[in-house]
Amino acid sequence: MRFPTDLHFRELAGRIHWPHPAARDVTHITHQHTSDEDAEVAKAILYVSTVTLVVLLVVLAAIAFGQEAMHWLGVH
């Protein structure tokens, strides 16, 4: 697979990431996010991160409990 020679990863990264950073040789993006939108995104990220952390802790606790239960039952 060949990449086009005019492909610049810095420009592509600037287009992908949010909020959009102003790249040097790219035209300025006129769309701006309001503080309410930023707050909603921050709340959503915090919520998803918290849920992910709780699920991870529950899975790790279940694995540890399962290993201890196997040890108590004498399973090798």
Q: Where are the domains of the chain?
A: 9-73
Residue 16 CA from chain centroid, whole number: 13
From CA 62, how far away is CA 57, in angstroms rounded? Answer: 9
Q: Can you tell me whether residue 28 is helix, strand or coil?
A: coil
User: Is the separation of the CB atoms in 10 and 23 below 8 Å?
Assistant: yes
- pLDDT 10s digits, 51-62: 999 999 999 999
Residue-level pLDDT at 35: 85
Per-residue model confidence as pLDDT tens digits over 16-72: 665 545 545 555 666 777 888 889 999 999 999 999 999 999 999 999 999 999 999
